[in-house]
Chain A
């Protein structure tokens, strides 16, 4: 009986006091529309398509992002220009399906598709949630400033032959025995 009274006093009353003393602790709330919270650079928000330092599209339409996407919200079609560069004929992301998981960014071999800290994407019409390539493409390089896929890849395009890429040796003719 006495221990019950003692426990009640020490436990319940102390609990009440501790909770009450939170009255003079400043609230953690960030009042969002009036006050923007700091968004970390690696926050996974709205998806963009970046360009390489020369201003060309980075996307080579390899479809890896569309395959990686767990909700199948990415649709694209590959095409090729006169120089042999691959690029998407259309590139469509349905943001009403997108779950911002970032798998597409992980899968992308050319750093083309990237997630940004923007999260204010509400729309009144569902159709407005579908973004085409023109809406997704930005003018800059995004998070990776120096990377240009065709400069490091061995693929031959107009203006760059085999062996001219960065850190690439001139191709060896393996069928020749000459030193």
Chain B
């Protein structure tokens, strides 16, 4: 069995790596947050607390897996499965390095956006099926948040698609090899996609659907045990996904000086953005969800449309 795009070995390795990285982020996030808050964070289990993840996993696997009697059982169980599935499916179109990936899809960008939209169903189903007022508020907020960020998220990366002339993520990276990273011509698109990515992965400052301080964990209030663990890891998977997408779309994916293999550059760039997302959590307070909607519709949407217009004018005038 060879290690190439789409081979069974490749799929297995990518699946395992992505899930392990997402689980390790539990430790990375707690550690980084505590450094930024002048604490030490988990450093007891194993060297530097690296085995904290194992301890957390043992805890979460052995917890009682409880379904509230008033919940709608089918959709209650289905909801955490949806978020894991759609985000892992999104990883299939990400080009990690030359020859590393699951599929080279001609509609890669569209596929990721479609999966991101489906992920919102997970949150809404979880909130609705829980039959809990906080969970319902959380899913209402998730719906309000989704209709405000999905629009400019799609439009913000259209500039990159227009410049590279392809929806295929691997070809977008190859186009950056010739033209330079798209962060320079598409800086506004990058900033808007970053903001949309924070909202997409339900991270602070846009973790409005699960705001602990206001609506006590929102849509996953009623979840416990492994089903909660799937939401938890799903959130980190979303974080990894958005960081990989930013790397691929704006920072040249695996491209970098050739003394290190491409996969290393990809991992390094992605990690910088993961750390940035954690820094956002440490620093920025949460807005109200109507503020996010106003900000999205009245400011970011016009700016992203303007960005697309100017990009189109420049492409047409230079070709």
Contacts and interface: CB of A to CB of B under 8 A. Distances in A.
A27 B283 contact: no
Given A12-B284, A16-B280, A22 B40 contact: no
A1 B302 CA distance: 12
Given A4-B299, A19-B279, A20-B279, A25 B38 contact: yes
Interface residues of B, number: 13
Contacts of A28: 38-39
A77 interface: no
A123 interface: no
Q: Which 10 A-B pairs have the closest CB atoms?
A: A19-B283, A29-B40, A22-B36, A27-B40, A15-B283, A16-B283, A19-B282, A28-B38, A19-B36, A27-B38
A19 B34 CA distance: 11
Interface in A21-67: 22-23, 25-29, 31
A15 B284 contact: yes
Nearest to A24: B35
Nearest to A15: B283
B37 interface: yes
Given A4-B299, A19-B279, A20-B279, A29 B284 contact: no
Contacts, number: 35
Contacts of A26: 38
14 contacts: A4-B299, A15-B284, A16-B280, A16-B283, A16-B284, A19-B36, A20-B36, A22-B36, A22-B37, A25-B38, A28-B38, A28-B39, A29-B39, A31-B40
Q: Of B38, B280, B283, which is in contact with the most chain A CB atoms at under 10 Å from its CB?
A: B283
Given A12-B284, A15-B284, A27 B279 contact: no
A32 to B, nearest CB: 11
B206 to A, nearest CB: 13
Interface in B24-39: 34-39
A139 to B, nearest CB: 38
Contacts of A12: 284
B279 A16 contact: yes
Given A19-B279, A20-B36, 16 more contacts: A1-B299, A4-B299, A12-B284, A15-B284, A16-B283, A16-B284, A18-B283, A19-B36, A19-B283, A20-B283, A22-B35, A22-B36, A23-B35, A26-B38, A27-B40, A29-B40
Nearest to A17: B283
Contacts of B38: 22, 25-28
Nearest to A28: B38
A26 B35 CA distance: 9
B39 A27 contact: yes
Contact of A27 (B35, B280, B299): B35
A150 to B, nearest CB: 52
A159 B110 CA distance: 100
A29 B41 CA distance: 9
Contacts of A16: 279-280, 283-284
Nearest to A31: B40
